[in-house]
Amino acid sequence: MVQIFYKMMKEIGQEMHRSTRALAISKVDSPNILDMCMAPGGFLATALNINPGARALGFSLPVSEGGHKVLLPRDTNVMLKFLDITMLAADMGVIDIPAEHPEAKNLLSQQLDPGELFGLVLCDGQVLRTHVRAAYRDMREARRLAVTQLVIGL
């Protein structure tokens, strides 16, 4: 199933690029790509093919927490970090976390270099029904995920 999803995402990425040129990084942009919810990696594979030599940082929910398996071939220009991006507290500007917060121990320190620029940011993550998370998050998880991708992407 994941193989089918990977192939489909590559085909969608190619079609989207043919129609809009959306995946091309201009020469004035940073040749870096940020993929907020990377696995299985079809969009990123297409973007890297369109932008030879580009470097990429991909975040992906670990398989152990319900994320997809990564099918993107290993590449020295691609760094993968397996984590729940909705826990990127420091990258979202949250430093002081109350001890009584239900996720206080799960919120993460800075994961991105504040000075790093990306010429292309992929924000296509969706809430996965297989994602293991606290029950209180269920009603707001889609919004949390979308906001996290857009804020960090900007």
Class of domain 2-153 as given by CATH? alpha beta
Position 121 pLDDT exceeds 90: yes
The pTM score is 0.87
CB 80 within 8 A of CB 38: yes
Mean pLDDT (whole number) for 7-12? 94
pLDDT band at 135 (very low <50, low <70, confident <90, very high): confident
Give me the amino acid identity at 141: E
> Which two structure tokens, joined as six digits, stand for 22?
């959306």
Q: Average per-residue pLDDT in the chain?
A: 88
pLDDT tens digit sequence for 21-40: 999 998 777 799 999 999 99
Write the DSSP assignment of 54-109 as a string of letters: -EEEEEE--GGGTPPPP-SPP-TTEEEEES-GGG-TGGGT-----TTSTTTTT---
Q: Which residue has better confidence, 67 or 134?
A: 67
Whole-number pLDDT of residue 2: 82
Whole-number pLDDT of residue 128: 62
CB 19 within 8 A of CB 13: no
The residues, any chain, with a CB within 8 Å of residue 79's CB and separated by 6 or more, are: 55, 56, 57, 58
Domain positions in the chain are: 2-153
The residues, any chain, with a CB within 8 Å of residue 147's CB and separated by 6 or more, are: none
pLDDT band at 132 (very low <50, low <70, confident <90, very high): low
Q: CB neighbours (10 Å) of residue 47?
A: 22
pLDDT tens digit sequence for 59-95: 998 988 878 899 999 999 999 999 999 889 899 888 8
Share of the chain above pLDDT 90, in %: 53
pLDDT band at 150 (very low <50, low <70, confident <90, very high): very high
Segment 19-23 long-range contacts (CB within 8 Å, at least 24 positions apart): 23/47, 23/50, 23/51, 23/120
